[in-house]
Amino acid sequence: MRLAVFDLDGTLIDSLPDLADSVNSLLRGYGLTEQDDGSVRGMIGDGVAVLVQRALARCGDAAAGIDRAEATKRFMEIYGPRATERSRLFPGVKDALTCMRDEGWRLAVCTNKPVAAAHNILDTFGLSDLLAAVGGGDSFATRKPDPGHLLGTIRMAGGDVSRSVMTGDHANDIRAASGAGARSVFAEWGYGVQAFAEGASACAACMADVPVIAARLVPAVS
């Protein structure tokens, strides 16, 4: 059995519009300066708490006295109900996942996003039925780039790391795969910069390329 594991934000889902709107709603609530989409894009990839911390840090001394844990709670209250208002699947995602499933791959998601939010998004976009497991940022004691997060997701999906491929747009995805001993594909269409591809087994320009690349990295056993 071959297992294909995917990051969520910036890989399967273009979630930047809703994340940026939610960040700015949070900042407005504190009377702080809003951030443009480009700035928020660079904050994504390390989970909600880090996203909020980075957004507040961009506001300098004006945000110094704000409790980060309380701000993270507020952010989730804002983001949760609107997480799929303007977010969209990246082109070719559902077709590529369906193709891989039909070719015998088992599929999973490994994301630093809280698992409840991840399930909500995957349900909304009709991807849940294609997946064997979803490992969220709060599913294990560790999260990406710690390989334990990916290894836990692989176990949840009933896979074996030697027959697994991790696809993602962030350095965290590539580092988690390297540390776990899995192959990896850097998603060039996502939010990451090209430097994040360092150490990847391969790069893909679009989601449609992933089934072919993954099959090359982990060939089927006849």
* Alpha-carbon gap, residue 22 to 150, rounded angstroms: 27
Q: Give the CA radius of gyration of the chain.
A: 17
HSE-CB at 1 with a 13 A cutoff on CA atoms is 13
Q: Identify the helix (H) or strand (E) that includes residue 199.
A: none
Q: Identify the helix (H) or strand (E) that includes residue 100.
A: helix 93-102
> Active-site residue 7, yes or no?
yes
* Alpha-carbon gap, residue 24 to 15, rounded angstroms: 14
Residue 30, judged by CB atoms within 10 A of its CB (0-12, 13-18, 19+), counts as middle
Q: Which amino acid is at 40?
A: V
* Alpha-carbon gap, residue 51 to 144, rounded angstroms: 14
In this structure, what token pair is assigned to residue 145? 């780039």
Q: Cβ of 146: how many Cβ atoms within 10 Å?
A: 17
In this structure, what token pair is assigned to residue 186? 């850097």
Query: Roughly what angle, to the nearest 10 degrees, separates helices 147-156 and 171-180?
Result: 70
| Contact assessment for residue 189 and residue 96, using Cβ atoms and an 8 Å cutoff | no
Q: State the catalytic residue, choosing from 7, 18, 169, 173.
A: 7
Active-site residue set: 7
